Structure 1
């Protein structure tokens, strides 16, 4: 009998050594959920000693709250479920509370213990998964960062494509007028500073080209020039467009979005048509520009940025301030260095080089032989007032090139507004001796010749020094041809 007790004690000690050597924490429970056993690993992981836990309901000791502090009802505890239904319960995403009061991420298995077919208790085996949770969280952070960088790269790619397109079409500031030279000297003076620039001018004068020139000659040229067309942003999306948002910030926010301010970090933010920003939203923009920081919509984290600001407007912002439609403090924040871009009608010396540049460009795009601008063309262009400025000039030249299909002569007379076309100053075909003209070119040459004769004769058809005499035609024949070509004198 004594030998049997010795064997039993030896077996119990051996089991204790095995349980004590286990790397996982192990608790034994009775049918009421009170701890009957705790191994060394359980104490090492959670800090509770065996004397702290024996006879104490395990749930009340270290499983009483969720990770966020919410109460964890005992009846919902999977550990106790094994004591009720006799099933094995495995949990992989909960926490046990350390004796020092902080949560320890764990995964555990609660297995019922039966003796003679009756439920006698349960054994709980758990392991600390803090390292795995931290790795998962780091992977999630890395994933979010990769997604954010991917989105930012996609936006930068789109901006780069736009800039390449604009550079192809407007890559050079072309002109030779004194007014343009003054503007270029201002660009050179301010480009390498960090001063905010306010570009003022009528629609179509090339304010965006000036902004790009400032950026390209600045120390930030290697970074993005991010354009925001303030006139096109709906009021409800203003903050999201400028500052970005996080997923779920509002209906339709299905993913995190990088705002224009963040995209322009260490680069240049170009606020086009800044005068169109609604007054209630100007304060939010002012704060972000002054503090160089902002919060994304739905996010409590403040982001710091280093942004140089260039703004542009076709409005008189000083007058808008007086009328209470633009914040005075924002106006002074933006207008550290104002640059006024003159309209095209005040720089007529630039019309010819600009027109030739656009004509060569559109001929390349249309895949046709280059067309020429005659002196008559240039004079006609200079007579127009160009309310749409450079943008209108480009459109007119492109339209003229399209209308000149099948002709070697630019049909500018068909492209200019009717009020700007002087029939007596029609296009002058370029023709060299020995060259064969098409019928349309020949008729155009004849029309020009008739108009030139009428101008030289002071619009007198018959009589001495009349146009008919100069042309060697009968007055009746000349009158017929003038009517045929629609040549009429335009009186001022």
Structure 2
């Protein structure tokens, strides 16, 4: 057995007899001297192997005599290439022949240094890898105490790794939930890996920085096993603050896009309504002195941020004044949002003005932006402002003063920048005295009042307005162009127009609708038909002032014409070759005129 061991062992082993003569030398030791055969080493002495033979021989003889061992004695090992330092251990042996000797085992420092250098290289490499890692890495023992930490742990959490070694990591970094509530270690996924041996991954928790701030992290706790038992865990974590911020910004952007989408939908619906109810009166038309004074007021206030209160009778064109103020202001590029306060149900006033969130009341199936929010950056036109319920006037006042409000069912405050133009046909001062309108809201709205004159106070503009409405109506109805005579304009100017411009527009439309061929009828369109001549002709020819007939004569002529047509059609009103077809009018119109003129079929 000894011979086999000596022949194959790569270590430095030797067997000495009782005279300290080498009887066996291992392959590893023979290689130092370039010997191939085991027999070549049988004559080696202590002085052939070690440079300090005399002192070492004395120690070996004492070990042999006392049957004691030597441990790690420093020696100088001889070889073909020179002397190397090392350590020697010796122990007594007894051979089969009954004689005694010593077994030797030497360690060469060169091999040891090589192994140590390799160990140091590996350790340095591992340390560099740990330092280079961007994630924080902690090693834990079986009790959850830190055994190591890399440089990233300090960059993320502020603690030097040396300050954490030997302490429970959970108590330092993981003791509370994001909201600050206690996080007991028995619920900690990091420690769970020490108990169940499973890998635990968490992507939405916080570790606590040395300064007490919370650091959003994701981490993995992986158990360390040896011989089937769990000896610790490795925790790898990373700071996800940037990711959280990106997610927050993305969510904020999504909410903003959602809000803008809803606002655009509201604006789209609003604009659709506006297209349907586009101004009844077109652009502001006229050159009367009273209108010019009003226009001068518009030009003066438009460039300022002041709120405007437009006063005037119904139908005078208060909305057109509001549009003119907006179009001449710095807010012209932003929306002008109209709120008809007289058409909003009382229960929906707050939602209409300020908006609501989904589920805030029955029927609130989705979030909705209010008119004030739609008008942000622009102008809101409060038409018929005197109709706002007294109970809601205080909230509107606060929104106008503070430039902020909350939607119905929402706790979030929305800030807006709107200019208010209000209009009413009521006497708001009287309403304030009667307690039906808040005085503070009245003064907030009426910073700059504008009184729009009624049509009867600007008669010089009636002809221009009538021509405008006539041209527009003919175009809309697909009729041939028509014009007014001076006589007709004078008689239109003589009317009192209690309905103002709205009434004038309606009369013109009614006259065109009742027209036959190229002739428009005012005799049936006006409430007081005797005040207006009976026709407007297409491209009228000039005539002498004396060349006319009275209204009574005109009616007699019309009656005679209708009777002639009826006789020609054998008094048939409807059908082919009926009187209505001969006259070029609808049968219902003919029946109406027959009733008005008292025409009936002879018995």
Same structural fold, with TM-score higher than 0.5 when normalized by the shorter chain:
yes
Deviation at 1:152, TM superposition (A): 5.1
Greater length-normalized contact order (CA 8 Å, ≥ 6 residues apart): 1
Deviation at 1:240, TM superposition (A): 4.8
Equivalences for residues 291-370 of structure 1 within 5 A: 291-294=402-405, 298-301=410-413, 303=415, 305=417, 307-370=418-481
Deviation at 1:126, TM superposition (A): 0.8
Deviation at 1:327, TM superposition (A): 0.8
Deviation at 1:99, TM superposition (A): 1.4
1:421-461 CA deviation, whole Å, 9 max, x = no partner?
A: 34x96613538899xxxxxxxxxx9987444899xxxxxxx
* Corresponding position: 1:421 with 2:529: yes
Deviation at 1:127, TM superposition (A): 1.1
Match of 1:460 in 2: none
- Structure with the greater alpha carbon radius of gyration: 2
Match of 2:517 in 1: 407
Match 2:139 to one of 12, 22, 28? 28
After superposing the two structures, state which structure 1 stretch, 308-317 or 134-143, moved more: 134-143
Paired residue secondary structure (2:520) = coil
CA 1:388/1:55 → structure 2, altered by over 3 Å: closer, same or farther?
farther
After superposing the two structures, state which structure 1 stretch, 33-42 or 320-329, moved more: 33-42
After superposing the two structures, state which structure 1 stretch, 293-302 or 174-183, moved more: 293-302
Match 1:133 to one of 244, 247, 270? 244
Paired residue secondary structure (1:170) = coil
Match 1:45 to one of 146, 153, 156? 156
8 Å CA contact 1:295, 1:301 repeated in 2:
yes
Match of 2:5 in 1: none
Deviation at 1:341, TM superposition (A): 2.0
Match of 2:174 in 1: 63
CA 1:450/1:145 → structure 2, altered by over 3 Å: closer, same or farther?
closer
Match of 1:93 in 2: 204
CA 1:80/1:403 → structure 2, altered by over 3 Å: closer, same or farther?
farther
* Corresponding position: 1:104 with 2:211: no
Equivalences for residues 425-444 of structure 1 within 5 A: 427-428=534-535, 430=537
After superposing the two structures, state which structure 1 stretch, 194-203 or 237-246, moved more: 237-246
CA 1:485/1:100 → structure 2, altered by over 3 Å: closer, same or farther?
closer
8 Å CA contact 1:425, 1:448 repeated in 2:
no
8 Å CA contact 2:520, 2:535 repeated in 1:
no
Deviation at 1:270, TM superposition (A): 1.9
* Corresponding position: 1:268 with 2:379: yes
CA 1:246/1:47 → structure 2, altered by over 3 Å: closer, same or farther?
farther
Q: Which 5+ residue runs of structure 1 have no aligned equivalent?
A: 435-444, 455-482
What's the C-alpha RMSD, in Å, of the aligned pairs? 4.0
* Corresponding position: 1:170 with 2:170: no
CA 1:47/1:352 → structure 2, altered by over 3 Å: closer, same or farther?
same
Q: Which 5+ residue runs of structure 2 have no aligned equivalent?
A: 1-104, 542-548, 559-592, 599-603
CA distance in structure 1 between the partners assigned to 2:595 and 2:365 by the alignment: 64
CA 1:239/1:450 → structure 2, altered by over 3 Å: closer, same or farther?
closer
Paired residue secondary structure (2:237) = strand
Paired residue secondary structure (1:410) = strand
Match of 1:459 in 2: none
CA distance in structure 1 between the partners assigned to 2:482 and 2:433 by the alignment: 50
8 Å CA contact 2:203, 2:219 repeated in 1:
yes
8 Å CA contact 1:447, 1:485 repeated in 2:
no
Paired residue secondary structure (1:369) = coil
8 Å CA contact 1:374, 1:427 repeated in 2:
no
**TM value normalised by structure 2:** 0.63
Number of aligned positions between the proteins: 445
1:144-169 CA deviation, whole Å, 9 max, x = no partner?
A: 44445555566566666777777775
8 Å CA contact 2:137, 2:235 repeated in 1:
yes
Greater share of strand: 2
Deviation at 1:134, TM superposition (A): 2.2
Match of 2:500 in 1: 389
CA distance in structure 2 between the partners assigned to 1:397 and 1:433 by the alignment: 18
CA distance in structure 1 between the partners assigned to 2:185 and 2:356 by the alignment: 40
CA 1:352/1:304 → structure 2, altered by over 3 Å: closer, same or farther?
closer
CA distance in structure 1 between the partners assigned to 2:446 and 2:344 by the alignment: 22
1:327-356 CA deviation, whole Å, 9 max, x = no partner?
A: 111112222222222333444443333222
CA distance in structure 1 between the partners assigned to 2:538 and 2:511 by the alignment: 19
CA 1:241/1:87 → structure 2, altered by over 3 Å: closer, same or farther?
farther
**TM value normalised by structure 1:** 0.75
